[in-house]
A = this chain, B = another copy of it.
């Protein structure tokens, strides 16, 4: 019998994944820090699923005790926003074992490194696999306190393990449930293949007043991207590619990604976005205080800018977006975000960072 899967976090993503896994026959333990948010799931004993998989996903255990959640599990699917990764690592640290496979769904930029860095700060002696997925496997939404709808299961989700030589072990755990996960070479690939980092904050920023005055009642991509906005997206995307290149990583441009992921063609980025049927009907968030900003700015843009700056690049477009997002929200995203310093990578060469991203901090 396969060991239970722990799903950490019961937001939109965690609920969908827990319920879906249960329908697939997994024994699922769902953890959430705040008991109130899972009270209804505890009471019902599971999650009612609709959309791509219909039925009642009965859960083996629903708990706010992380020790209990990790005890029997081997695969640990972390489904919290990236700004929660460090906290989750701290909570998990005492209970992790060498045979755990922790997957961040998704990691945003340097998520797995941050997780491991925190385990070390907590003097965790276990050496679990810590991996990051480039994106979340579903498009899904909670439709009630114990309900979830999976609108779409994505075709391919690259995932990279630290240490990379335990990739086969990780793939075995993941492929027991989903064939969509594909192994990436390094967490630098998943960290920089993060196109959400480009699109979410730029579109939100350049539609800020519209989001706040309409409460998000417009089409986020198809109305929210105009030729000028596309020019800024192009600039931010060029900087993402340039920083990735500094670290020795080749990633697809946003325009190439739209072509390969959605077959969305266009003479330029603006045309490609308009041509993407997958974007049709996606409404803007109802407020600018949204994960598109709260998560992507500090956990994707700040680390990209930090790495770029450290190696002589001046990523002005990314920095301008970070600055203005912070002013909008009267916060300093720089100090809340992941940087080479907070990740313990300052002073390392690009080649050394590449090694850490593949094998963990023990190599340096």
Contacts and interface: CB of A to CB of B under 8 A. Distances in A.
Interface stretch (A36-44, A128-136, A139-147, A204-212): A204-212
A331 to B, nearest CB: 10
A231 B327 contact: yes
Contacts of A317: 323-324, 327
A288 interface: yes
Given A223-B213, A320-B319, A320-B323, A328 B228 contact: yes
B203 A209 contact: yes
Contacts of A232: 324, 327-328
A268 to B, nearest CB: 11
B210 A209 contact: yes
Interface residues of A, number: 32
Contacts of A209: 203, 206-207, 210, 223-226, 228-229
B328 A324 contact: no
**In the assembly, how many copies of this chain are there?**
2
Most interface-central of A208, A211, A316 (chain B CB within 10 A): A208
A330 interface: yes
B321 A324 contact: yes
A210 to B, nearest CB: 5
Nearest to A229: B209
Contacts of A206: 205-209, 324
Interface string A196-220: 0000000101111111110000000
A232 B327 CA distance: 5
Interface string A251-290: 0000000000000000000000000000000000000100
Main secondary structure of the interface of A (DSSP, over half): helix
A324 B202 CA distance: 10
A297 to B, nearest CB: 13
A336 interface: no
Interface string A307-324: 000000000110111011
A329 B227 CA distance: 9
Contacts of A174: none
A235 interface: yes
Contacts of A316: 323
B223 A208 contact: no
Interface in A311-358: 316-317, 319-321, 323-324, 327-330
A350 B101 CA distance: 62
Nearest to A289: B228
17 contacts: A206-B206, A206-B209, A206-B324, A207-B207, A207-B209, A208-B226, A209-B225, A212-B227, A213-B226, A228-B288, A231-B327, A231-B330, A235-B327, A316-B323, A317-B323, A320-B327, A324-B324
